[in-house]
C-alpha cells in the first residue's frame, strides 16, 4: 500500500521513500508465523501455518485460515500467541455479525461485540506480536453491524500493525443530529477503527483508517507509541480521540506521529466515491477534532505531517499536563482549513518549519455545519497555553490567519518563556468580524490573560490589525507565491524580503521541505528556505533575546538508533553470514555516557555470535559490533528473521531493536518475470490551482524494482489536453510525480491518469482517476 500524506508545493525527496517494512522483527525462537487469505479454510480445516489455500477436503491441513477471526476470535483464546506474526493476504474481510468464525456474544446477536479479540502482547519491545497486511494491495478490514471497533489493542503491549486498510461501508455518522445521516441499529458500519488503552511499545505503520461512524482511533493511557505513514481520515466524530476515561487517558513516554495525514474528520465518507458527506461540528452535537487528547503527559513528536479540513481543531494538545517532562515538538507540519484552531498546545513546546493556514471558514455553508462552528475558539491559527517554568519556541514558521489572530498565548507569569523567532506572520480580514458586519484584520500576536515573558527576533508581520510590528521585525509584503487562503502557497518569490534576512538558529539546518537551511549568507524568514545557491556557513546562535538566563541543560533520554546490515544474498544452508550492528546514542548532550547491552535472536538450531556484549557511547556518538549467524545445515529454503536488540540501565527509554533476513537459497529457483504496477493519487479531489501528486510503485514478482522508467500522463477533463512526465523508481520501487492544476474551465472536472512502467524489456500500465474542483 502506498500512502502519500503531503500536499506541499515542493517535493520532499527524502519523504518520498515511503517504505513498507519487510522481513522479520526480532522475536523469540518459539515465535511462529500464521496466515490468513480469502481462499483459506476454517480452524478445523487449516492450522493457519502456511500461506496456502485450503485444498477443499480434509482437516488439520497445513494451509491458511480464511478470516482473521480464526486467529483473533472475538470470544475465547486467540490462536496466535505473543511474539507471533499474523500475515493477512490481500482482499476484504468483514469484521461483524455474519462473518466466518464469529463467536461469543457476536454469534448470539450482540452485533456491537464483534471486534477482533485483543492482540496478544509480545514478550518485549524487541519481540513484538505483529499483524501485517501481505502483498502490494493492503487487505481491507471493514466493520459491520455497528461493531464497536475493528482492531482491539486494549491492554496490548509490544505490538506492530502495518499495511492494512481499516474502514466500513456506510457513510452514516453515529448519533448524528440529522436522522438521514445517523447510523441505524444495523448496517455496514462500525464505530471505531482501532481502540486502545493501557497499551505500550506499539508501532503502527502504513495504515489507512477512514470512514468509521465514530472515531478512526480511540486510544489513551498509552506509552511509547509510534505512528508512521498512517492516514486517519473522514471519521464521523474525530480522527484520534484520546479520551478513554477520566482516570486512564494520560499518556507517557515517546508519542511519535511521523508522515501522517489526519483530515476531514467530523464528516462521513461515501464508501463508493470517497466523497465527504454529512459534515457537522460541535454546535450540532458533534466533535470534529483531527487529534485531541484528554489530560496527558509524554514527549510528543509530530513531524512531516498534514492535518487539514477537520470540522473543529486540527491538532488539539491543549490538555498536555504542563509538567517539566512533558514536551511537544512539531516539525514540518502542514495544518490548514481546520474549522477551529490549526494547532493548540500547553506547556513546553517547539514549533518549527511549519505552515499553518488558518482558513477556518472553509466549511461555511457546507453540510450540517452551523454558524458557530466556523473559526471556533476565535479561529486563532496557533493557540499556546503558557505554564510557569516552561519554554515555548515558535521559529521559522509561516502562519496566516482569518481568525482573530495568527498566534495567541494565554496564561503564565514571567517565568514562562515564549520565543517567537524568524516567523512570517500574515493577517487576513477577521472572518467572524466580517460576519458581524465589521471590517477588522486579524492580529499578528494576541496576548490574553498572560504575563509570560515574550521575546521577538527576526519575524515578518504583514497585513495585521493596527499594523502590529514588534521591534526587530520586517513589516512589509512577504511576496509569497499565493496568499489566497484556499490555495495558500508559502514559497517566497524572487525579491521577497524574507530571503537571506536573519541569523541561522543553531540546530535548524533544513526547512519545511527538508531543503538545506541556510542556502545563502543568512537564513530566510518563515518555513521555506529559497535554494538560490551561495555559501552555507555553519549555524551560529542568533543574538539572544533579552530574557532571563537559560536554565541549566536537562538530560533527556531518547530511544537509541539501531540498525542491522549485511549481505542480502541467498546462501546455502549451513553458511555463515556476518552482519554489522550499528548503535547511536540519541540522548541529549546533558546526559552521561551509556553502556548499551547487546542481544541477538536467531531461529532454533542456528548459532549467532556477537563480537561484543555491549557498547559504551557518549550522547550523539555511534558504535558497532558484528553478529555472525550460521544457519542449520538442514534449513529449508526461504527467509528467516534474525535480529539484535539493545538495552541499558535507563529502562524502556533505551530499548530498541533491528532486524534482517537471512535467506537460505533454494536449488534452481526460477528468476521472477512478472512485472506489476500500482498508481495512487495523493487524494481523490483537489482544489484548482493546487498541486496534484501521484505515486506509482513497480514490483517484479512482489519485489521492488529500482531504476524502472515510469511515464506519468494525466488527461484533462476535455479529453484532449495531456500533462506528462517521466520519473525513475527508487530503491523501494516508488516513482513520484506531481503538477499544479490549472484554474480555467478546461482544468475543472474529472481527470484520467495512467503510468507506464518499463524495466528492461517488460512494460506494465496502471491507471486511476481524480477530480479537480
DSSP symbols for 23-85: S-----TT--EEEEEEEEE-TTTB-S-SS----SS-SSBSS-ESSGGGTS-SSS--SS-TT-E
Residue that is written with C-alpha cell 506528462 in the block: 724
Predicted local distance difference test score (pLDDT) of residue 345: 97
Q: What is the pLDDT of residue 721?
A: 83
Per-residue pLDDT at 246: 87
The average pLDDT across 395-423 equals: 97
* Mean pLDDT lowest among 314-318, 466-470, 557-561: 557-561
The three state secondary structure string of 380-392 is CCEEEECCCCCEE
pLDDT the model gives residue 667: 62
93 CB-contact burial (10 Å; exposed 0-12 / middle 13-18 / buried 19+): buried
Residue 118 to residue 355: CA distance in whole angstroms:
39
Cross-strand partners of 104: none
**Average pLDDT of span 19-38:** 60
Report pLDDT for 139: 96
Tell me the pLDDT band of 312, cut-offs 50, 70 and 90. very high
Burial 238-253, CB ≥16 within 10 A → b, else e = bbbbbbbeeeebbbbb
Looking at residue 482, what is its pLDDT?
A: 96
Q: What is the pLDDT of residue 52?
A: 95
pLDDT at 195 over 50: yes
Q: What is the mean pLDDT of residues 364-375?
A: 93
Give the model's pLDDT for residue 553. Answer: 64
- Mean pLDDT on 389-393: 96
* Mean of per-residue pLDDT scores for the chain: 89
pLDDT for residue 770 is more than 90: no
**What's the confidence (pLDDT) of residue 365?**
92
Q: Is the pLDDT of residue 545 over 80?
A: no
pLDDT of 542 > 80? The answer is: no
Q: What is the pLDDT of residue 614?
A: 85
Nine-digit cell at 349?
Answer: 513546546
Reply yes or no on whether the pLDDT at 598 is more than 80.
yes
- What number of other Cβ atoms are within 10 A of residue 512's Cβ? 28
Q: What does the pLDDT look like over 605-620, one tens digit per residue? A: 889 898 888 888 888 8
pLDDT at 9: 36
Mean pLDDT along residues 339-347: 97
- Within 8 A by CB and 6+ apart from 503, the residues are 458, 522, 523, 540, 541, 542, 543
Per-residue pLDDT for 541 more than 80?
A: no
> pLDDT at position 593, please?
84
DSSP character string of 104-161: HHHHTT-GGG-PPPPPPPPSBTTB-EEEEE-SSSPPEEEE-TTEEEEEEEET--SEEE
- Tell me what the mean pLDDT of segment 58-72 comes to: 96
User: Could you tell me which residues come within 8 angstroms of residue 710 by beta carbon, excluding any fewer than 6 positions away?
Assistant: 677, 696, 698, 726, 727, 728, 729, 735, 737, 755, 756, 757, 758
pLDDT at 720: 81
Query: Rounded to whole angstroms, how far apart are CA atoms 598 and 381?
Result: 46
d(CA 348, CA 556): 13
Mean pLDDT lowest for which of 160-174, 430-444, 589-603? Answer: 589-603
Does residue 311 come out as left (phi exceeding 0), alpha (psi in the -120 to 50 range) or beta? alpha
Please report where in the chains the cell 475558539 appears, as a residue: 377
Residue 13's pLDDT band (cuts 50, 70, 90)? very low
pLDDT higher at 742 or 143:
143
Structural domains in the chain, sorted by start: 31-144 (no CATH), 561-664 (2.60.40.2310), 675-772 (2.60.40.1930)
Is the C-alpha dihedral spanning 671, 672, 674, 677 positive or negative? negative
Residue 539, pLDDT > 90, answer no
Say what the pLDDT of residue 672 is: 47
- Read off φ and ψ for residue 191, nearest 5 degrees: -75, -50
Beta strands, E only, 648-705: 656-664, 675-681, 685-686, 691-700, 703-704
How many residues would you count in the chain?
773
Between the CA of residue 725 and those of 509, 728, 735, what are the distances in Å? Answer: 31, 10, 11
711 Cβ contact list (under 8 Å, min separation 6) = 724, 725, 726, 755, 756, 758
Q: Are 28 and 51 in contact (CB under 8 A)?
A: no
Contact 423, 460 (CB under 8 A): yes
Instruction: Spell 255-284 as b/e; 16+ CB within 10 A means b.
Output: bbbbbbbbbbbbbbbebeebebbbbbbbeb
Is pLDDT above 90 for 81?
Answer: yes
Mean pLDDT of 733-740: 91
Write the DSSP string, 697-737.
EEEETTEE-SS-EEEEEEE-TTSS-EEEEEEE--TTSEEEE
Per-residue model confidence (pLDDT) at position 278: 95
- Confidence (pLDDT) at 341: 98
- The answer on pLDDT for 428 being more than 60 is yes
pLDDT at residue 20 tops 50? no
453 strand-pairing partners: 417
Residue where the block lists cell 529502562? 651
pTM over 0.75: no
In the predicted model, is pLDDT for residue 544 greater than 50?
A: no
Contact criterion met (CB below 8 Å) for 102 and 108: no
CA triple 430-433-438, angle to 5 deg: 115
DSSP result, 364-376: TTSTT--GGGTTG
Q: What is the DSSP string of 201-239?
A: EEEEEEEEEE--SSEEEEEEEEEEEEEEEEEEE--SSEE
Check residue 2 and give its pLDDT. 32
Distance CA 500, CA 481 (A): 17
Residue 344 phi/psi, 5° resolution?
Answer: -125, 140
Question: In the chain, pLDDT over 90 holds for what percent of residues?
Answer: 71
Q: What is the pLDDT of residue 596?
A: 83
- Which residues, 6+ apart, have CB-to-CB distance to 15 below 8 Å? 6, 259, 304, 514
On the question of pLDDT at 584 being above 70, the answer is yes
How much is the pLDDT for 615? 85
Sign of CA dihedral 529, 460, 359, 773: negative
Inform me whether the pLDDT recorded for 323 exceeds 90: yes
| The dihedral formed by the CA atoms of 415, 420, 421 and 423, expressed in degrees to the nearest 10 | 170
Q: Could you report the per-residue pLDDT of 86-95, keeping only the tens digit for each?
A: 999 999 999 9
The C-alpha cell 550460521 sits at: 630
Mean pLDDT calculated for residue range 129-156: 94
Q: Rounded to an integer, what distance in angstroms lies between the CA atom of residue 684 and that of residue 264?
A: 13
Q: Note the pLDDT tens digit of each residue in 653-705.
A: 788 888 889 898 976 444 445 789 999 998 888 888 889 899 999 998 888 99
Of 116-125, 368-377, 652-661, 761-770, which gets the smallest average pLDDT?
652-661
Angle made by CA atoms 703, 709, 715, in degrees to the nearest 5: 115
In percent, how much of the chain has pLDDT > 70? 92
Distance in angstroms (rounded) separating the CA atoms of residues 296 and 319? 6
Amino acid at each position: 500500500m502506498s500512502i502519500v500524506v503531503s500536499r506541499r508545493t515542493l517535493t520532499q525527496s527524502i519523504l518520498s521513500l515511503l517504505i513498507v517494512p519487510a522481513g522479520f522483527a526480532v522475536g523469540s525462537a518459539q515465535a511462529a508465523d500464521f496466515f490468513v487469505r480469502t481462499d483459506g479454510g476454517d480452524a478445523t480445516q487449516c492450522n493457519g501455518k502456511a500461506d496456502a489455500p485450503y485444498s477443499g477436503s480434509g482437516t488439520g491441513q497445513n494451509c491458511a485460515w480464511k478470516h482473521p477471526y480464526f486467529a483473533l476470535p472475538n470470544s475465547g483464546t486467540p490462536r496466535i500467541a505473543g511474539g507471533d506474526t499474523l500475515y493477512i493476504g490481500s482482499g476484504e474481510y468483514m469484521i461483524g455479525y455474519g462473518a466466518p468464525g464469529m463467536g461469543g456474544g457476536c454469534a448470539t446477536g450482540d452485533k456491537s461485540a464483534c471486534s477482533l479479540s485483543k492482540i496478544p502482547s509480545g514478550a518485549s519491545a524487541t519481540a513484538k506480536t505483529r499483524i501485517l497486511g501481505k502483498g502490494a494491495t493492503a487487505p481491507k478490514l471493514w466493520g459491520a453491524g455497528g461493531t464497536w471497533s475493528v482492531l482491539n489493542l486494549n491492554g496490548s503491549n509490544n505490538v506492530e500493525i502495518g499495511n492494512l486498510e481499516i474502514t466500513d461501508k456506510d457513510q452514516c455518522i453515529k448519533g448524528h443530529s440529522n436522522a438521514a445521516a445517523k447510523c441505524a441499529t444495523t448496517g455496514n458500519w462500525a464505530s471505531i477503527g482501532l481502540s486502545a488503552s493501557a497499551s505500550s511499545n506499539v508501532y503502527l505503520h502504513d495504515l489507512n483508517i477512514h470512514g468509521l461512524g465514530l472515531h478512526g482511533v480511540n486510544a489513551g493511557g498509552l506509552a511509547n507509541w509510534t505512528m508512521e505513514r498512517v492516514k486517519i481520515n473522514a471519521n464521523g466524530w474525530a480522527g484520534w480521540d484520546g479520551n478513554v476515561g477520566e482516570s486512564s487517558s494520560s499518556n507517557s513516554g515517546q508519542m511519535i506521529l511521523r508522515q501522517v495525514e489526519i483530515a476531514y474528520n467530523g464528516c462521513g465518507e461515501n464508501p463508493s466515491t470517497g466523497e465527504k458527506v454529512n459534515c457537522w461540528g460541535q454546535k450540532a452535537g458533534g466533535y470534529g477534532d483531527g487529534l485531541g487528547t484528554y489530560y496527558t503527559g509524554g514527549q510528543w513528536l509530530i513531524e512531516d505531517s498534514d492535518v487539514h479540513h477537520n470540522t473543529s481543531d486540527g491538532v488539539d494538545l491543549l490538555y498536555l499536563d504542563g509538567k517539566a517532562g512533558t514536551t511537544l515538538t512539531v516539525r514540518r507540519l502542514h495544518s490548514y482549513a481546520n474549522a477551529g484552531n490549526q494547532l493548540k498546545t500547553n506547556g513546553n513546546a517547539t514549533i518549527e518549519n511549519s505552515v499553518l493556514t488558518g482558513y477556518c471558514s472553509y466549511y461555511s455553508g457546507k453540510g450540517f455545519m452551523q454558524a458557530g462552528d466556523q473559526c471556533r475558539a476565535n479561529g486563532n491559527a496557533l493557540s499556546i497555553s503558557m505554564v510557569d517554568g516552561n519554554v515555548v519556541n515558535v521559529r521559522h514558521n509561516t502562519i496566516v490567519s482569518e481568525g482573530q489572530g495568527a498566534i495567541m498565548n494565554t496564561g503564565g507569569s514571567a517565568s514562562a518563556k515564549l520565543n517567537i523567532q524568524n516567523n512570517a506572520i500574515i493577517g487576513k480580514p477577521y472572518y467572524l468580524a466580517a460576519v458581524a458586519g465589521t471590517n477588522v484584520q486579524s492580529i499578528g500576536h494576541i496576548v490574553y490573560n498572560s504575563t509570560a515573558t515574550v521575546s521577538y527576533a527576526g519575524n515578518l508581520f504583514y497585513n495585521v490589525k493596527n499594523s502590529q510590528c514588534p521591534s526587530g521585525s520586517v513589516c512589509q509584503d512577504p511576496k509569497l507565491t499565493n496568499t489566497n487562503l484556499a490555495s495558500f502557497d508559502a514559497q517566497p518569490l524572487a525579491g521577497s524580503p524574507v530571503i537571506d534576512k536573519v541569523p541561522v538558529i543553531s540546530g535548524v539546518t533544513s526547512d519545511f521541505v527538508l531543503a538545506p537551511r541556510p542556502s545563502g549568507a543568512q537564513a530566510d524568514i518563515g518555513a521555506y528556505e529559497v535554494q538560490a545557491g551561495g555559501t552555507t556557513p555553519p549555524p551560529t546562535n542568533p543574538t539572544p533575546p533579552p530574557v532571563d538566563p537559560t536554565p541549566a541543560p536537562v538530560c533527556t533520554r531518547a530511544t537509541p538508533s539501531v540498525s542491522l546490515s549485511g549481505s542480502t544474498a541467498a546462501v546455502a544452508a549451513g553458511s555463515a553470514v556476518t552482519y554489522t550492528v550499528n548503535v547511536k546514542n540519541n540522548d541529549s548532550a546533558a546526559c552521561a555516557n551509556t553502556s548499551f547491552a547487546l542481544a541477538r535472536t536467531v531461529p532454533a538450531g542456528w548459532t549467532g555470535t556477537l563480537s561484543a556484549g555491549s557498547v559504551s557511547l557518549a550522547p550523539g556518538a555511534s558504535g558497532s559490533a558484528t553478529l555472525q549467524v550460521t544457519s542449520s545445515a538442514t534449513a529449508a529454503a526461504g527467509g528467516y528473521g534474525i535480529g539484535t536488540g539493545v538495552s541499558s540501565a535507563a529502562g524502556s527509554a533505551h530499548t530498541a531493536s533491528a532486524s534482517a533476513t537471512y535467506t537460505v537459497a533454494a536449488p534452481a529457483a526460477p528468476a521472477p518475470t512478472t512485472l506489476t504496477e500500482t498508481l495512487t493519487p495523493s487524494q481523490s479531489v483537489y482544489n484548482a490551482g493546487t498541486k496534484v501528486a501521484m505515486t506509482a510503485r513497480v514490483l517484479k514478482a512482489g519485489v521492488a524494482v529500482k531504476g524502472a522508467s515510469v511515464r506519468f500522463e494525466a488527461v484533462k477533463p476535455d479529453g484532449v489536453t495531456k500533462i506528462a512526465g517521466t520519473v525513475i523508481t527508487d530503491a523501494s520501487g516508488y516513482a513520484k510525480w506531481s503538477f499544479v492544476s490549472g484554474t480555467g474551465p478546461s482544468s475543472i472536472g474529472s481527470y484520467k491518469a495512467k503510468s507506464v512502467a518499463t524495466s528492461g524489456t517488460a512494460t506494465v500500465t496502471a491507471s486511476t482517476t481524480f477530480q479537480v474542483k
